[in-house]
Amino acid sequence: MCLAGDVFDVPIRKDIIHRVVRWQLAKRQQGTHSTKTISEVSGTGRKPWNQKGTGRARHGTLRGPQFRGGATMHGPKPRSHAIKLNKKVRRLGLKIALSARAAEGKASTSPDLELTSHKTKNIVNYFNQLENTKKLLLVDGGPISEKLKLATQNVHYVNVLPSIGLNVYSILLHDTLVMSRDAVNKIVERMHTPIHR
């Protein structure tokens, strides 16, 4: 199959790949970590002892950060870890990742990814035919067929994605990429679609 040069043959730039992977990993962080401030921690609001005359330091509450069971100062609160990255840079990152796999000879196409049976041994046999492959990523054009899902779900070194879900981090995690003809067409179409601001 003839691959589009402006998608599968662009100059490799590690800095762009690095930025896109950082953006992806930051965006998927949950950010649900939380600690209690002095107004949220449970306990009495009474002044522990007199202001003067005891010889001890002056305090207005026992829920300060210096006391056992007290608050945490400047601790983490729920927030988004996402960072901004322009759409053009994201798109360029995907093109570079695809180009890198194509340049290594680790990207191949298949007429389709239809299986006759849902048996795992079909995928295992196919994987064993590939040379110098540790992890395999299968990319299909539309929704993943039920047989392909069942055949790959128990094999940790083979993963399946629809073309719309293809991303830089997944491509980097897998050293071999196999795409259906439909997936290649949809990826190229996606890369050629104008970016609306």
Q: How does pLDDT run across 73-99, given as a tens digit for each residue?
A: 999 999 999 999 999 999 999 999 999
Is 50 part of any domain?
Answer: no
Give the number of domains in the chain.
Answer: 1
19 and 174 in contact (C-beta within 8 Å)? Answer: no
> Residues 114-134, buried b or exposed e (16+ Cβ, 10 A)?
ebeebeeebbeebbeeeeebe
Does residue 64 lie within any of the structural domains?
Answer: no
Q: Does 20 reside within a domain?
A: no
Does residue 112 or residue 44 have the better pLDDT? 44
Given pLDDT bands bounded at 50, 70 and 90, which one contains residue 197? low
User: Contact 179/107 with Cβ under 8 angstroms?
Assistant: yes
* Predicted pLDDT of residue 6: 80
Binned at pLDDT 50, 70 and 90, residue 14 comes out as: very high
Whether 175 maps to a domain, the answer reads yes
d(CA 129, CA 124): 9
Q: Does 123 map to a domain?
A: yes
> Which of 4-8, 79-83, 105-109 tops mean pLDDT?
79-83
Instruction: Flag whether 12 is in a domain.
Output: no
Residue 131 — very low, low, confident or very high, per pLDDT cuts 50/70/90? confident
pLDDT digits (tens, 9 = 90+) for 149-193: 888 888 899 999 998 999 999 999 998 999 988 888 988 898 888
| Residue 65 maps to a domain | no
Exposed / middle / buried, residue 169 (Cβ in 10 Å: 0-12, 13-18, 19+) = middle
Which strand ranges, in their side-by-side order, compose the sheet holding 176-180? 107-110, 176-180, 136-140, 158-162
Give dist(CA 120, CA 18) in Å, integer.
35
CA angle 111, 113, 114 (to 5 degrees): 110
The residue whose two tokens read 């998608």 is 7
User: The domain containing residue 166 runs over which residues?
Assistant: 85-192
Cα radius of gyration (the chain): 27
User: For residue 157, what are the contacts with CB-CB under 8 A and spacing of at least 6?
Assistant: 127, 134, 135, 136
pTM above 0.85, yes or no: no
CATH number at residue 128: 3.40.1370.10
In a domain, 140, yes or no: yes
Q: What is the DSSP letter of 137?
A: E
